[in-house]
Amino acid sequence: MTGFPAGPTGSGVPDRAGFLPGADGATPPAPGDLALPVAGRRVLTGPDGRFPGVGELPAVTDWVPVGTLDGKPAWAADLDEADAERLSGRWRSWPSLAAELPEPLATLAGRALGVVTWRRTHRWCGACRTELADVPGETARRCPGCDLYLPMRLSAAVLVAITRPGPAGRPDELLLVRHSYGPTELWALVAGFVEAGETLEAAVHREVGEEVGLALDRVAYFGSQPWAMSGPATLLTGFTATAADPSAEPVLDERELAQARWFPVDALPAELPPAYSISRWLIDATATAGRR
């Protein structure tokens, strides 16, 4: 197969112009600034689905800067359940927001969730146990006791769409897997976290070797997506690749996977990852390219 889209342009990855992550809290929030209160892993939206203004939530005072949307500052706040119940509106999970909101609003909501989760889980110095202090203008904390500097860190993960040529006259085939935990009904891509000391490309080869025992050719970068489903901050990076041996069958790591199967790209299963995920963008782009 040839002719993959070269990257985000034309591959279905949305344009994120308009949202810039930031941490500028020098000026206090104005009533018209965007407000993203967070409770647990949920974000508040108004009944019409939009984010409220800071001035609509006078009871909330502990605002944290998360960036700007079309130049307008956006602020998050970490609320406990009792305070959250007093605010009217809809409390939404990130998957629900990402499924419904256009970009860049879902990315902004993911950033608010990430920053709040990171602050909640990084309160004390891991070296000397002193309470950490915010670093003005940065999404970072510093220890007043031992000067340890703790910027908010990203976890990087790779996803790989592996194809092989189909039988003569038939479209290419795509390898999809079912995990033995999590959403086990979904047919997904081989994926995993990047280890320290590893390039993204090395992680692709390692994860595919570990999970399905296949060697790869033509590993190519596809695009990336900030992912707010769990943890403070994950960056998903997508790759395409071809099986080095087109006759090789997957050998499963049964601790991780329940099934792995080659599907003709014109006969993919219905149980695919959601439309807002880079997994799905990769699968759709692979299916389009593999029919040519």
Nearer residue to Zn ion within complex by CB, 132 or 161: 132
Stretch that binds Zn ion, among 79-87, 142-150, 213-221, 273-281 (CB under 5 A): 142-150
The nearest distance, CB 273 to Zn ion, in angstroms, is: 41
Choosing from 44, 66, 79, 143, the residue that interacts with Zn ion (CB under 5 A) is 143
Stretch that binds Zn ion, among 61-69, 120-128, 160-168, 227-235 (CB under 5 A): 120-128
According to DSSP H, which parts of the chain are helical? 81-86, 94-100, 105-121, 200-212, 278-290
Cα separation of 19 and 52, whole Å? 16
Nearer residue to Zn ion within complex by CB, 141 or 178: 141
Nearer residue to Zn ion within complex by CB, 151 or 183: 151
Report if residue 128 touches Zn ion, rule: CB under 5 A.
yes
Nearer residue to Zn ion within complex by CB, 124 or 193: 124
Choose among 47, 49, 48, 37: nearest CA to 74.
37
- What residue type is assigned to position 100 of the chain? E
Stretch that binds Zn ion, among 103-111, 135-143, 155-163, 242-250 (CB under 5 A): 135-143
Cα separation of 142 and 124, whole Å? 10
Choose among 85, 100, 89, 86: nearest CA to 36.
89
Nearer residue to Zn ion within complex by CB, 128 or 215: 128
Stretch that binds Zn ion, among 65-73, 138-146, 201-209, 254-262 (CB under 5 A): 138-146
Q: Which residues make beta-bridge pairs with 91?
A: 44
Report if residue 285 touches Zn ion, rule: CB under 5 A.
no
Choose among 228, 29, 18, 234: nearest CA to 105.
18
Choosing from 5, 7, 22, 145, the residue that interacts with Zn ion (CB under 5 A) is 145
Q: How many residues bind Zn ion (CB under 5 A)?
A: 8
Stretch that binds Zn ion, among 13-21, 100-108, 123-131, 234-242 (CB under 5 A): 123-131
Beta strand ranges found along the chain (DSSP E): 19-21, 34-39, 42-45, 64-69, 72-78, 90-93, 133-134, 140-142, 149-151, 155-164, 173-179, 190-193, 216-227, 234-243, 257-264
Report if residue 158 touches Zn ion, rule: CB under 5 A.
no
Stretch that binds Zn ion, among 64-72, 104-112, 127-135, 258-266 (CB under 5 A): 127-135
Choosing from 125, 157, 188, 236, the residue that interacts with Zn ion (CB under 5 A) is 125
Cα separation of 110 and 116, whole Å? 10
Q: Taking CB under 5 A as the rule, which mask of x and - marks residues 12-31 in contact with Zn ion?
A: --------------------
DSSP state of 63: -
**C-alpha 233: how far from its chain's center?**
8
Binding residues for Zn ion (CB under 5 A): 125, 127-128, 130, 143, 145-146, 148
